[in-house]
Amino acid sequence: MIESRANTVPRKIVRTIVTLGSAILCALPLYYVIVSSFKTSVDMTKHPFALPTEWTFANYAQAVADGSIWTAFLNTLIVTVFGVILQVAVGSLAAYAMVLKKNWLTVGMGAVLTLAFCIPVQSTLLPLYKMEGTLGIVDSLPGLIVLYLADSAFCYYLIVGYMRKLPTELFEAARVDGASPFRIYWQIVLPLIRPILATVIVFQTLAVWNDFLRPSVFVSSAEKCTVVLQVYNAVNAFSTNWPLFMAITCIALAPVVVFFMFCQRWIVSGLVAGAVKG
């Protein structure tokens, strides 16, 4: 913005009060969660908005006492890492096929995948449950990872838009030099699409890590719980002990906060500059 008139100090101060003020107002629920996690139940009911009258770490001690939260973290980490790597691999390979050669197969699959992207996972959940039941992989981490592969169509959709803008001469030159299509994918295409890969990976990491629907349907045993499911179960188990719930929530959100701080610039950057054709 180049208007100097609009950037005088009094205007900036007014803007600061209004904007920063509403940001803080919107973030108050998070403040409430954090302060409550350090309170006793009595303190929380009596002074819901104040800082704790006496800081207590008992809730945190209780939250990690049985160690189940660490198991949940490990499960979620395994599911997220494998789920996202597989999705991105499948999606980017398909996107590469689209720009490699136009033939009846790529044109047909392009149309099918656009359609697939619009089919919600909800409408396939019941048969998938039956299918996994027959295979005996319900309530297992591999069973959960397989389900997230359905998001490959979304990864494909984001990556192909970016790939189409790459100059094709690059592939041509490599092909003339005798590089195999896979080698071109691995050594030329993947490094070139790093910006969109970063966005897709960050986006899908959050999506898988935060998912509640699939774990809540497919996971039944406590030792296979993901973090979000663990938090949900905790509320039902200690329905009256809200400070304990707040402590568990804080522990569950801590990695998300750290992840956000390091990766926030990639979350939307890849969606810009026509990467997605809406």
Partner 1 sequence: MNASATSAIAKVRRRPLSPEDRATFFFLLPIMVVFAVLTLVPLLSSVYYSLTDYNGFSTDFNMVGLKNYVTIFSEPELLHSLGFTLLFAVSTTLLITVLALPLAVTLNKQFYGRSLARSLFFFLGIPAQAILGLIWRQIFSPMKSGIFNQILDLFTIPPIPWTSDDHWAQFCVIFVGVWMGVGWHATLYLAYMQAIPADLYEQSLIDGANSRQQFIHITLSQLVPAIVVSTFLIMTGNLKVYDLPFTLTAGGPRNATMTITQAILLRGTGQSQYGVGSALAVLFTIVCLLLVTIQQIVASAIQRRFE
Site residues for partner 1, 75-94, by CB under 8 A, read: 89-91, 93-94
Instruction: For the CB of residue 66, give the shortest distance to partner 1 in the complex, in Å.
Output: 20
Cα separation of 173 and 139, whole Å? 49
Does residue 176 bind partner 1 (CB under 8 A)? no
CB-based contact 215:228 (threshold 8 Å): yes
Interaction between residue 174 and partner 1 (CB under 8 A): no
CA distance 229 to 111: 36
Minimum distance of partner 1 from residue 175's CB (angstroms): 8
Using the rule CB under 8 A, is 235 a contact of partner 1? Answer: yes
**Contact residue for partner 1 among 13, 58, 111, 170 (CB under 8 A):** 13
The yes or no reply on residue 274 touching partner 1 (CB under 8 A) is yes
Name the packing angle between helices 227-237 and 68-100 (round to 10°): 140
Look at the block and give the residue holding tokens 């969606």. 271
Q: By CB under 8 A, is residue 170 in contact with partner 1? A: no
- Letters for 42-81 (x = contact with partner 1 by CB under 8 A, - = none) are ---x--x---------------------------------
Look up residue 249 and give its two tokens: 């929530």
> Which listed range, 57-65, 67-75, 114-122, 162-170, lies at the site for partner 1 (CB under 8 A)?
114-122
User: Tokens representing 105?
Assistant: 């197969």
Residue among 64 and 125 whose Cβ is closer to partner 1: 125
Instruction: Count how many residues are written for the chain.
Output: 278
Distance CA 114, CA 121 (A): 15
68-100 and 194-210 are packed helices; what angle lies between their axes, rounded to 10 degrees?
140
Q: Which of 53, 187, 220, 264 contacts partner 1 by CB under 8 A? A: 264
Per CB under 8 A, the list member of 42, 212, 223, 258 interacting with partner 1 is: 212
Binding flag, residue 218, partner 1 (CB under 8 A): no
Query: Whole-number minimum distance, CB 181 to partner 1, in Å?
Result: 4
Rg of the chain over Cα atoms, rounded to whole angstroms, equals 24
Binding test (CB under 8 A) with partner 1, winner from 10, 26, 65, 134: 26
The span from the CA of 220 to the CA of 139, in Å, is: 6
Least distance in angstroms from the C-beta of 186 to partner 1: 12
Looking at residues 192 to 211 of the shown chain, list those that interact with partner 1 (rule: CB under 8 A): 206, 209-211
The DSSP code for 128 is H
CB atoms under 10 Å from CB of 213, counted, come to: 12
Nearest-angstrom CA–CA distance, 208 and 204:
6
